[in-house]
Structure 1
Amino acid sequence: MKDYIQYLQDVLGLQNVMLAPEQAGAEAAKTQFFTAKGPFTVSELRHYELVFLNILTQSKESLFLPEVNDLYSKMKAAMKLRNLQVLELDCTVEDRSQLPSELAKICESKVVVVYSSFPKDIGELIFKGPGKWLETYSPAYLLEDPAAKKVVWNDLQKVMKELGV
């Protein structure tokens, strides 16, 4: 089986995903956002109806790994998000309390779904920044604990209701 970190670096272009701040330098101490193509760069503040934000604690949790992306794609398809502006991001974060303000620097969103292996305030739509946030289990976590799929589906239905889909 492929080394996940090597895959993330070589194929997906992610850098310093699993390095501790003292190993990766000062840059790793702040929040970093990644798309399937690599580090997320923004030229202007953009608005999205929905942001999927996946917090990485291990390299095998990336939304963009084939085995995780397969389940994640099925979850999105079940939500029927046809005409919505959606942004999908992996992120590394040192201080989760700073995540809303860090995300607000790069985009605005009506709803943010935060995927995590260790969600806080699971299943609650909470106002944070300019939109509502809902935290639930990540697709990578669901691969390890399929029993949690029902919890996540209930959470995603709350998001669908909030978005009117």
Structure 2
Amino acid sequence: MKDYIQYLQDVLGLQSVMLPKSDQEPLGTQFYGPQGPFQPTEFQHYELVFLNILTQAKESLFLPEVQDLFGKMKTAMKLKNIQVLELDCTVDDRSLLPSELAKLCEGKVVVVFSSFPKDLGEFIFKGPGHWIETYSPSYLLEDAGAKKVVWNDLQKVMKELGL
């Protein structure tokens, strides 16, 4: 995590980064966009939310090598005229993730990226939307064999959104 924070500060030039006040303090569930902590000014509805669970610094959607692959994935999905939100997040308890996200925004479909997906490729009703968990783009950089699994999951999302 500290490598990721150092990268954000040194390479991306961010001033405020996601460190807790002390190394002993738990992070809880926190959401981050490309500019740092995600703090919307008003509650919004998105048709599609990409939520990337961070377990290591190299997993961020906003790192150049990951961003490149993720961009290709979105292009293949043909996401032209829909509201999309992309976030990294840290979680202590995955079961709280839907309620924590619901405090900030609402998504018709939420794609959860993880290196260790729990319910791989299954749509689950959580709150007002459908959630599906699959492998993260950073995981695909290490295991290209999982790309077919992810593409099948993204096709389910496209069908759900009518794309």
Q: TM-score when scaled to structure 2?
A: 0.92
Q: Name the structure 2 match of 1:6.
A: 6
Label 1:104 to 1:12 Cα distance change in 2 as closer, same or farther (>3 A).
Answer: farther
Q: 1:94-109 to 2 correspondence within 5 Å?
A: 94-109=92-107
Give the letter for the 1:105 counterpart.
Answer: K
1:140 aligns with 2:138: yes
Distance in 2 between residues matched to 1:25 and 1:71, nearest whole Å:
33
Q: Name the structure 1 match of 2:150.
A: 152
Q: Given the alignment, which residue of 79, 82, 86 partners 2:80?
A: 82
Distance in 1 between residues matched to 2:41 and 2:48, nearest whole Å:
19
Q: 1:1-165 to 2 correspondence within 5 Å?
A: 4-10=4-10, 11=12, 13=14, 14-16=17-19, 23=23, 25-26=25-26, 28=27, 30-165=28-163
Long gaps (5+) in structure 2: none
Percent of matched pairs sharing the same residue: 72
C-alpha displacement of 1:43: 1.8
Q: Report the RMSD for the aligned CA atoms in angstroms.
A: 1.6
Q: TM-score when scaled to structure 1?
A: 0.90
Q: How many residues align?
A: 158
C-alpha displacement of 1:24: 5.4
